[in-house]
Amino acid sequence: MRALVITAPGEAEVREVPVPRARGGEVVVEVEQAGVCGTDLELFHGTLSYVRDGLTTFPIRPGHEWCGRVRSVGAGVDQSWLGRRVVGDTMLGCGRCRRCQSGRHHVCAVRTEIGIRGDQPGALAERLALPASALYAIPEVLSPAAGALVEPGGVALRAVRAAALRGGERVLVLGGGTIGHLCSAFAVAHGATVTVADPRPEALELAGRFGAVGVAPDDLPDEPSFEVVMEASGGPDSAQRAVRLVEPGGHLVLVGLANQPSMVDTRDLVFGDLTVSGLLGASAGLEGVIAWYAAGEVVPDDLVAAVVGLSQVPALFRGERPAQAGSGPKIHVQPSRHG
């Protein structure tokens, strides 16, 4: 089968690789559609912290945002999975430690992250093997775009849950990328009044499609003005700015990851009596996102600017945007597509 392989920092190619077989407890999924994530770009450039820390080594086969259909099952797996449309958890814990046993497998110290950390190949390939325990069924009604946006949606839904929205709150989302817009969409669906700050006009226009108000960062107020601020830009100075914009007693939710240390004056957190949440991964949000999408309460499809084949992904990694791409921040891949 064909799969994308990052062979070294700055180098990627499509290769013929062996078709995976489902071992005990595993399934093999035919990948319908997969997303190219900012994490994949960091892997390509070698800037991801896991690379620096030796937790990820090359070559690596990326891809962790996907949907597909189960084509084979290994020993011990319920046969009813065969033929079902699914998505999967990226985070695979050891299953034995206290974190895993308490439902925190996404922060297991020895976890594997599909297509990111460890030796579990990712979904930018025609087929993908993974444990059946990581599967979530999705309905046929979901578009391929929505299916492949379940994983980033899980991060966003966790962010909204962390903010404990009850309706009526003023929420600011810093960053109009995929995660930022999904945070905005779920916050709107929870009854909040949402502002998205981003310097790009196309991001501000897209914010309006999800029910938010888009503003340029320079147009934000200088004083605390929002009960909740979600930092989704990953800018190194954005977290400290977020702190200054949260109303006393409010929530600061951190989902963006900067490529360098983000400095925050903890005195501002204390004097503001702020609740601060940092979120890693989508695990606890996946089931909820599927329900929201399936009900049509959040429709994420406008985030996808183009759908390409595997052969075009190396060019994407080098910064080339597909011809005729729309304004959305996300590029999707159909591994079965040639050309």
Q: Give the tens place of pLDDT for each residue, 168-184.
A: 999 999 999 999 999 99
At 339 the pLDDT is 60
The C-alpha angle 35, 68, 284, rounded to 5 degrees, equals: 70
At 235 the pLDDT is 87
Residue closest to 304 by CA, chosen among 147, 86, 123 = 147
Average of per-residue pLDDT across 45-65: 95
Phi, psi angles (nearest 5°) of residue 93: -80, 175
At 250 the pLDDT is 97
pLDDT of residue 259 exceeding 80, the answer is no
**Bridge partner list, 69:** 30, 85
User: How many residues can be counted in the chain?
Assistant: 339
How does residue 229 score in pLDDT terms, banded at 50, 70 and 90? very high
At 306 the pLDDT is 97
Residue closest to 14 by CA, chosen among 85, 75, 62, 73 = 62
Where does 154-278 sit in CATH, by number?
Answer: 3.40.50.720
How does residue 261 score in pLDDT terms, banded at 50, 70 and 90? confident
Residue-range domain boundaries for the chain: 2-149+300-333, 154-278
Token reading at 22: 């489902």
- As a whole number, the mean pLDDT across the chain is 96
Question: Do the Cβ atoms of 186 and 204 come closer than 8 Å?
Answer: no
CA–CA distance from 125 to each of 143, 252, 258, 319 (Å)?
Answer: 19, 37, 28, 20
Where does 2-149+300-333 sit in CATH, by number?
Answer: 3.90.180.10
Q: What is the pLDDT of residues 312-327, one digit of tens each?
A: 999 999 999 998 899 9
